């Protein structure tokens, strides 16, 4: 599978997938819905699916000595690689905000979501939805990606709205805590996000393999 990941990076990947990783830095922007950083990272991955189609990467991959399911796994590996890089950067930036900038006026006066473990949990949820809805949808045809991307955008934006509003509900203010105060509810959200990410990704891979196997190319 390492070879498939290398093939993705060397041939199929759009440079924009890497450039859009810079959106992880939105984690630092006060008064901004920082979850959009995760969305922009997936938008960068979307461009690689565009180059996949433009360059008939699937046609090329079919000539390689790999099973059809390995082509699907290769795409997911690349997606997870970029998501992993983005998540790592956002985790580092979040920890910087939590450890060193929790008292900064720009952040304490922030009406929107704080960078904390709740934020990271929702980042994973957005990634999971991308892996299930967009990547899984792409492999219905291995060609059409407009509809899956629209569905993903709608779902991702609903998650952003939910995440941004959640801490305004009575009793849930702790989810938006600064620094390391009220960390337990935040860790619960992070754990839930990680679980949903794993479940959605595994389901996406399973669906994609099944769908791609049946496609006539």
Partner 1 sequence: MSILEVRHLEKQYPKFSLTDVSFSLEAGTITGFIGRNGAGKTTTIKSILNIVHPSGGEITYFGLPLVGNENAIKQRIGYSTGTVNYYPKRKLKELASVSKTFYGNWDEESYRYYLDLFALDENKTPSELSEGMKVKCNLLFALSHRAELLILDEPTSGLDPFSRDELTELFTMLKKQGTAIFFSTHITSDLEKCADRIVYIRQGKIVLADTKEGFGEKLGLPGETLEETMLRLEKEAREEGTR
Helix residue ranges, H only, 130-217: 136-138, 146-166, 183-214
Residue listed under structure tokens 């997870």: 80
- Total Cβ atoms within 10 A of residue 98: 22
Task: Between 153 and 211, name the residue whose CB sits nearer to partner 1.
Answer: 211
Of 6, 19, 100, 143, the one binding partner 1 (CB under 8 A) is 6
Length of the chain in residues, anyone?
217
Give the separation between CA 50 and CA 58, rounded to whole angstroms.
Answer: 12
Minimum distance from residue 139 beta carbon to partner 1 (Å): 14
Using CB under 8 A, which residues numbered 188 to 217 contact partner 1?
A: 213-217
Of 22, 29, 36, 66, the one binding partner 1 (CB under 8 A) is 66
Q: Residue 131: enclosing H or E segment and its boundaries?
A: none
Of 67, 154, 161, 162, the one binding partner 1 (CB under 8 A) is 67
Using CB under 8 A, which residues numbered 33 to 62 contact partner 1?
A: 55-57, 59-60, 62
Residues that bind partner 1 (CB under 8 A): 3, 6-7, 10-11, 55-57, 59-60, 62-68, 70, 213-217
């Amino acid at each position: 599978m390492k070879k498939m990941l290398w093939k993705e990076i060397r041939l199929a990947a759009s440079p924009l997938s890497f450039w859009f990783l810079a959106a992880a830095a939105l984690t630092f922007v006060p008064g901004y819905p920082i979850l959009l950083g995760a969305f922009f990272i997936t938008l960068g991955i979307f461009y690689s699916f565009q180059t996949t189609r433009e360059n008939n990467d699937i046609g090329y991959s079919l000539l390689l000595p790999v099973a059809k399911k390995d082509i699907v796994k290769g795409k997911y590996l690349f997606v997870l690689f970029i998501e992993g890089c983005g998540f790592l950067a956002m985790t580092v930036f979040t920890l910087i905000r939590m450890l060193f900038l929790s008292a900064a006026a720009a952040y304490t006066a922030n009406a929107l979501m704080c960078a904390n473990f709740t934020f990271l949990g929702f980042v994973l949820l957005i990634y999971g939805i991308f892996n299930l809805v967009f990547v899984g949808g792409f492999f219905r045809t291995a060609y059409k990606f407009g509809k899956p991307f629209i569905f993903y955008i709608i779902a991702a934006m609903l998650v952003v709205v939910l995440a941004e509003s959640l801490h305004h509900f009575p009793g849930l203010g702790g989810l938006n805590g600064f620094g390391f105060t009220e960390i337990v509810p935040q860790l619960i959200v992070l754990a839930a996000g990680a679980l949903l990410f794993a479940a959605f990704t595994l389901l996406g891979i399973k669906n994609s393999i099944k769908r791609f196997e049946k496609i006539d190319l």
